[in-house]
């Protein structure tokens, strides 16, 4: 008998499929032979299942089709390789925003684009919010906007727009108080950045913020619970 264990995506009970069934991978979207699934038919292909944090962020950054950066971020944050707290969230905000904007604009994303964002955001140190006064999630949306605008330290308007977005995200994250919550920071940074890209590019990005419906409180030992606007109401 197959030992019972929860689905890593939704927490539902997994069951064996005999014979195997063709299902779409929750993360990358590729079709594969599923031996296990849950009531919601969640399936993770072998490549995504064994992926490291960096690998899954890159993989989803290349394959995601969603136009909502929150959806892309949530997909990444439920992956077993992504810790509740960590520098991975700096890359998640950058990749989620960059990919969502590209999808809304109908533009192609090159693998090198995602790799460059990962290389930049991985340089942001752990605990930068406390030690440097700059949240890595805020810096992440700044990196994404810089990439979208092709900004550099020599740019004029583009540099200003990227810095304004990162600064506003940092302010709104700071206003929520502490201790830090990387997941909350991702949501706030992407919400701020969505407003920025709508104004800059004339888009209609409408992120679905999980107000009072966060899925991660029980995994976060430092969760501020009722002090957080995303804490679920039962």
How far apart CA 129 and CA 125 sit, in angstroms, is: 9
- Cβ atoms of 67 and 77 within 8 Å: the answer is no
Closest CA to 194 of 71, 76, 59: 71
Q: What pLDDT was estimated at residue 181?
A: 97
- Cβ–Cβ < 8 Å for 86, 126: yes
Query: What are the residue boundaries of the structural domains of the chain, listed by start?
Result: 1-50, 52-210
pLDDT confidence of residue 233: 81
- Residues for the chain: how many in total? 234
SS3 string, 102-159, reads HHHHCCCCCHHHHHHHHHHHCCCCCCHHHHCCCCHHHHHHHHHHHHHHCCCCCCCHHH
DSSP E strands, the chain: 15-24, 31-37
Task: Give the pLDDT score at 3.
Answer: 61
Rounded Cα distance, 23 and 223, in Å = 35
| Residues of the chain with confidence (pLDDT) below 70 | 1-3
CB 48 within 8 A of CB 24: no
3-class DSSP assignment, residue 228:
coil
Supply φ then ψ for residue 36, to 5 degrees.
-135, 150
């Amino acid at each position: 008998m197959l030992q019972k264990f929860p689905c890593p995506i939704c927490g539902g009970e997994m069951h064996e499929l005999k014979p195997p069934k063709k299902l779409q991978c929750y993360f990358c979207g590729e079709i594969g032979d599923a031996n296990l699934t849950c009531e919601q038919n969640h399936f993770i292909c072998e490549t995504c299942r064994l992926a490291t944090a960096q690998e899954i962020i890159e993989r989803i950054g290349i394959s995601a089709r969603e136009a909502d950066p929150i959806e892309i971020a949530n997909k990444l944050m439920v992956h077993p390789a992504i810790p509740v707290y960590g520098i991975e969230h700096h890359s998640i905000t950058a990749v989620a925003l960059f990919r969502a904007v590209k999808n809304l604009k109908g533009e192609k994303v090159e693998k090198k684009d995602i790799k460059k964002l990962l290389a930049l955001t991985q340089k942001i140190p752990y605990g930068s919010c406390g030690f440097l006064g700059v949240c890595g999630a805020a810096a992440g949306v700044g990196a994404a906007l810089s990439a979208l605008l092709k900004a550099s330290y020599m740019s004029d308007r583009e540099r200003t727009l990227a810095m304004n977005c990162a600064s506003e995200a940092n302010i709104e994250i700071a206003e929520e108080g502490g201790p830090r919550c990387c997941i909350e920071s991702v949501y706030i940074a992407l919400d701020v950045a969505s407003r920025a890209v709508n104004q800059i590019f004339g888009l209609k990005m409408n992120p679905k913020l999980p107000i009072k419906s966060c899925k991660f409180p029980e995994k976060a030992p430092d969760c501020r619970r009722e002090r957080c606007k995303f804490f679920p109401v039962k």
